[in-house]
Structure 1
């Protein structure tokens, strides 16, 4: 068990932190929701009802979709785009999909390679793009969930103000949907750009996200 925890400590730590923060968001969101309920002369609701509500669902899903959009774009764009001096970039001359030999697929695959890396045709093509495809799929699923929860939460607000509700299709053109979406996208894209550029000049000793401390600022695709 100790070995398992050590060898999987990064993933387990982040999943644990995720659960802690999600629970914290649920309680904080519940408190804020009930404050608004009381201010409007309505009855507060239980924590159980809140975490199954559209209000909580849209708050969670709008953050998930932006995170997975960030990963999806980063995975695919870094195939072709480079950033001189950044450890987040591949070496400048390696832009593109690279050769089968470089990628160790097909006849160049080792004995311990995944079976689909050795397989010909469709299976290899799918496996060769599986990380980006899954990230893109989760992004689209999360964005769809945001739109569904968002229209439900939006219509609850409309009804509370005695105004007309809107359909899901019409909600996709509402400022509420795009405000929720774009405020998350811009922050994620800024974070990626900052990481790519700041890591050219700054270091974090021992981190694989940083170049070795003594590496030149112009060293590209070098990780610590």
Structure 2
């Protein structure tokens, strides 16, 4: 990367002996943007998976730098939802069009960031009108107390196990097999996206897409909302 930055700097220097830190940062971002865009468009699944993994990290950091940062810091599951939406959109775009993205590959990161801000804005507006529970948050709360309850409060532990079974039943009520698999392995087997992709022999992007759509489908179920309310108590 250093050599590439130097080469581009030599082209842009125009008589200036010492580049500013801002200029070097901008050059580095353009180089990384081009490389990531090419990987995003690659027909090789391993290369594309690596691109999406890097995209996710970049977008996570970008979200913390937006004007919506404070909102998402208070609700980690909301941030996850927004990331899932953006990654799903980008995956579908490149699936339909192998040259999806900006004409200028050096603008790829900016293009992705613009999509992130658009989804973050839409998400915040929607949540202000229609709040809902998050499976991610409920799972974190359950994991924190389940082990202790088994020994300290057997009755409460049994109740939690019953709620866990109810959650499993709600997941199994989904008609789509892939949605069921992704949620069961995520919440009951604690597998991450890469492990799931390997297990199901699909791309990480498909895991992102199925997981987001499955969560969205479950949130429309009134019985699941009742289960999650009981889980919070």
Between structure 1 and structure 2, the one with the greater Rg is 1
Bigger relative contact order, structure 1 or 2 (CA pairs below 8 A, ≥6 apart): 1
Q: Write 1 or 2 for the structure with the bigger share of helix.
A: 2
Q: Normalization by structure 2: what TM-score?
A: 0.23
Q: Normalization by structure 1: what TM-score?
A: 0.23
